[in-house]
Amino acid sequence: MRALQKAGLVELDERAEAVLAETPAEAEPTPQIVMDHAPEPVVAAPAPAPLPVADGPITEQRPFEDIYAEHSVAAAVFPAEKLLKILDGLAALDPASRIAAVRALDAADDAWTVDDALLDAERKTRALASSRTQLEQQARAALEQARRDIAERDQRQQEAVGRIRSQIADLEALLEREVARATEEKAAFENSARAAKEACLREVARLDGEAERLKRLAATFGAAPATPAAPTP
């Protein structure tokens, strides 16, 4: 790639130069740029077994490295991210020239190939898709669990409301019975008091009548002699 830069075919920015500095290379003659060079077929790795749906809240902003490790993505000889940085550094070129420059860099270095990055990108893309599916399943599971919890809560609410209403009906019936009993007892008290008053009036009238009858004797024969006082001891 540096040979291409010296020849004026490509222009690298700082990111591309940093990637090249991290990539081991052997001194070889500047390769011939072939514009119609087709990439070698990429052998896809077998799809990993589906992961179980996680419980609890969804974790956001997880590092991609953790996701790749969780899906057993092996470390690549030339990661896809490095190839992306190189392409970003060649952003000033047209797409065909960028591809030709990268192919030339690939041919000049036996330590890695573009196919390494393509295979790494394919594996990581599959891991991200699997993680996306897992997140969607987790969200659906949380939604279903919330629906079940709401249904159970509604059922408990209906049962509690039914019990309370039954208790209210029992209390209202008890209240009616208590009011009726109190009314009857008060009526009985009033009747008893009325009967006592009427009995008192009758007895007073009887006593007054007898007293008047006795007073007639005094009127007829005069006053009764005074009763001698009892001797003082």
Residue 160 lies in a domain: no
Burial class of residue 23, CB neighbours in 10 A (0-12, 13-18, 19+): middle
**Per-residue confidence band for 37, with pLDDT thresholds at 50, 70 and 90:** very low
Lowest mean pLDDT among 46-60, 68-82, 140-154, 163-177: 46-60
Residues in contact with 88: Cβ distance below 8 Å, sequence separation at least 6, in sequence order:
13, 15, 16
Structural domain of 13: 2-152
Residue 176 lies in a domain: no
Domain-located, residue 14: yes
Please tell me the distance from the alpha carbon of residue 118 to that of residue 83, in angstroms, as a whole number: 9
Greatest extent of the chain over all pairs of C-alpha atoms, in Å: 173
Residue 112: DSSP 8-state: -
Q: Are 124 and 73 in contact (CB under 8 A)?
A: yes
Task: Give me the number of domains the chain comprises.
Answer: 1
| Distant-in-sequence contacts of 66-71, Cβ < 8 A, 24+ apart | 67/127, 67/128, 67/131, 68/124, 68/127, 70/127, 70/131, 71/126, 71/127, 71/130, 71/131
- Model pLDDT, residue 231: 63
Asked if the structure places residue 72 within a domain, the reply is yes
The predicted pLDDT at position 112 comes to 81
pLDDT in tens, 179-211: 999 999 999 999 999 999 999 999 999 999 999
User: Where does the chain show beta strands of DSSP type E?
Assistant: none
pLDDT in tens, 99-152: 898 888 878 877 788 888 899 999 999 999 999 999 999 999 999 999 999 999
Tell me, yes or no, whether 194 lies in a domain: no
| Domain-embedded: residue 96 | yes
Asked if the model's pLDDT at residue 162 lies above 60, the reply is yes
Nearest CA to 7 among 101, 92, 98? 101
Q: Is 189 among the domain residues?
A: no
In a domain, residue 134? The reply is yes
